[in-house]
Amino acid sequence: MATSMSFFLLLSLLAFAPLCFCNYFQEGKLYPQFYDYSCPQAQNIVKSILAKYVQQQPRLAASILRLHFHDCFVKGCDASLLLDSSENIISEKGSNPNRNSARGFEVIDAIKAALERECPSTVSCADILTLAARDSVVLVSTSLPSLMVIWFQKNVASGGPSWEVPLGRRDSRDASISGSNNNIPAPNNTFQTILTKFHLHGLDLVDLVALSGSHTIGNARCTTFRQRLYSQISGNGKPDSTLDQYYAAALRNRCPRSGGDQNLFFLDYATPYKFDNTYFKNLLAYKGLLSSDQILLTDQESAELVKSYAESNDIFFEQFAKSMIKMGNISPLTNSRGEIRENCRKINS
């Protein structure tokens, strides 16, 4: 009887097995378990190395997250942004959105070097950048920076936004500086222009507002918002009327009418190193640093989303995770397309 039952159980398991595995291993599809057998330590290596860098320079968390955005909005999430210029490549690092501002490449280099030692020619630079972006968010979702490394070593959830990253991207063999100049939303773009750029990549208004919440961490240069302080377009010399006047006065102290272009300012002055919903609360108080931030209140549907996220950290976190997965799925290279770079800064010879 026991033998019959065991045989019946085995048949039952075999009957369901194809259903389970086909969800994970569909050809050309991204899935979180992609490296479970080929490089099982991949995600832990990304987390541990990133944690060490961010503990030394907390600003790097926002920098890595920004690299992921700027990569995905140009030709998809294919690590084209990581390529240096060469004989046949003009690097996206020199485009207007990236020049003098894109940073954190050395972190990706360190992670890649460690992964090449662990499992050569296996983990793509595109997947490294996507994982590092997720881990950057989780890492700064706690207000206790001294516990960062301990958190990662123990792999304990911090209560911040996290998500399973679909994996299996491959790396591009070229870059597009024109795409980088034209496709990435700019701080002075109109609301409709920014929304159009999101739509071109299959992202909608909800994604736009939720992903704008990444500005709860990081910095912006004086040159990116100076026009809001001095109304250079209208020429009246007065601050933008949608900017809190006391906040504007404080900003003008370190962002003069001319000079100081590279002076840095927190995008979220209240909790600059913590990933939370304070960014949206700042917008409602007319203290959004960039024009592209504050204009989220100029559209009724967008403004309602801002209010919703300002009221609930949980609602913001949930949608941010969904939108990050959606953005990370923009035009990935899979199967035989692209390559697995041995060095993220150059294509394989």
Q: Cβ(348)–Cβ(79) under 8 Å?
A: no
Question: What whole-number distance in Å separates Cα of residue 319 and Cα of residue 56?
Answer: 30
| Structure token digits, residue 161 | 């936004």
**87 is known to lie in a ligand binding site:** no
Q: Tokens standing for 152?
A: 């990662």
Q: How far apart (Å, rounded) are the C-alpha atoms in residues 298 and 277? A: 19
User: 140 labelled as ligand-binding?
Assistant: no
Q: Is 239 among the annotated ligand-binding positions?
A: no
Say if residue 130 carries a ligand binding annotation. no
On whether 174 is known to bind a ligand per the annotation, the reply is no
Catalytic residue chosen out of the listed positions 68, 70, 199, 201:
70
Residue 122 token pair: 């296996």
Question: How far, in Å, are 133, 171, 276 from residue 288 at the CA level?
Answer: 23, 35, 15
| 128: DSSP letter | H
Flag whether 92 is marked binding: yes
**C-alpha–C-alpha distance, residues 167 and 343, integer Å:** 19
User: Does the annotation list 185 as a binding residue?
Assistant: yes
- Indicate the DSSP class of residue 178: H
Q: Say whether 268 counts as a known binding-site residue.
A: yes
Is 278 known to sit in a ligand binding site? no
User: Is residue 78 annotated as involved in ligand binding?
Assistant: yes
Active site includes 70?
Answer: yes
**342 in a known ligand binding site:** no
Q: What is the C-alpha to C-alpha distance for residues 75 and 180, in angstroms, rounded to an integer?
A: 9
Go through the chain and tell me how many residues it has.
349
Instruction: Indicate the annotated binding residues for heme b.
Output: 215
Instruction: Indicate the annotated binding residues.
Output: 71, 74, 76, 78, 80, 92, 185, 215-216, 268, 271, 276
Task: Tell me which residues are annotated as active site.
Answer: 70
Instruction: Indicate the annotated binding residues for Ca(2+).
Output: 71, 74, 76, 78, 80, 92, 216, 268, 271, 276
